[in-house]
Amino acid sequence: MKLYQVDAFTKKVFSGNPAAVCIVDKDLSETEMQSIAEEMHLSETAFVRVYGKHCNLRWFTPNAEVRLCGHATLATAFILWQEGYWPSEKKIEFSTLSGPLFTSLNKNGSVSMDFPATIPEKDESFDKMPMEEELGGLIKEVLRIPNELILIMSDVEKLKRAKPNPVFIGEQARNGVMISGWSDKEDFDFVSRYFAPNLGINEDPVTGFMHTILTPYWSKVTGKTKFNVRQASARGGKMATELTGDRVILTGDAIKVFQTEIDI
């Protein structure tokens, strides 16, 4: 089985978010896929099987399968086009646990992904004080979707400097905690980070699915529909997002780091 490692949401190797992409030519069990993901020990390992008109796609963290992943989808589409598994002029439809996802290759080499938008709900009952102490900054608003906690912070610089304890973070939500803040910098509209120790990811370098939640949120707050955004992890990454009805378009770059083969 061919296996590629790709850095997503970046043009430079050793930055952005690394993902493993496995080109599956026979059915693998969930145990086999989870074992490969644990062995790769990246935030996500993607398993894709190519058919005539669509591709089946699944994603695994080192600890569990997830329903939606942005950077590993970007990495998978990039490899399918670059390595000749799919015609570069054709969009790719992926069949996933989150329904059909669509990707297209842009003329400048970037990849655009058409994902469902998710609208978070306010949580007025959350006690902000312990989390403010942990993050070192004030929280303006608390939001939730199933299994995820979203915190809107007042100060982007404090957001960037935050070093929360993974054990504490793991107690706040089944999957992870997102923090985001509006930026006054011209290069980026909002800045975010994502911590998911319960999924085996203390901090995710760049998180596509998070922006399917934050894009509609910030659109409602600002009235804008298009954003340039940054994820302020140690590796860092950036993307463009656009809200179009009940869908979010995520656009970013990718670069191949290496390829190999594994026997299963």
Same domain, 235 and 256: no
Same domain, 132 and 177: yes
Q: How many domains does the chain have?
A: 2
Range of the domain at 126: 121-245
Same domain, 142 and 211: yes
pLDDT tens for 78-128 read: 999 999 999 999 999 999 999 999 999 999 999 999 999 999 999 999 999
Q: Which amino acid is at 111?
A: V
* Arithmetic mean of pLDDT, 190-214: 96
Same domain, 139 and 241: yes
Q: Which amino acid is at 9?
A: F
Same domain, 241 and 254: no
pLDDT for 118 equals 97
Same domain, 82 and 100: yes
pLDDT tens for 62-75 read: 999 999 999 999 99
In the residue annotation, 261 being an active-site residue is answered as no
Task: Catalogue the long-range contacts made by 158-166 (C-beta closer than 8 Å, 24 or more residues apart).
Answer: 159/135, 159/191, 159/192, 159/193, 159/232, 160/191, 160/193, 160/232, 161/136, 162/134, 162/135, 162/136, 162/137, 162/193, 164/134, 164/135, 164/195, 165/134, 166/195, 166/197, 166/202
For the whole model, what pTM was predicted? Answer: 0.94
pLDDT tens for 130-175 read: 999 999 999 999 999 999 999 999 999 999 999 999 999 999 999 9
pLDDT for 221 equals 97
Same domain, 138 and 237: yes
Same domain, 125 and 208: yes
Which CATH number covers residue 191? 3.10.310.10
Of 44, 141, 148, 203, the active-site residue reads 44
Same domain, 111 and 170: no
Handedness of CA 251, 255, 261, 264 (dihedral sign): negative
Query: Has residue 186 got a pLDDT over 80?
Result: no
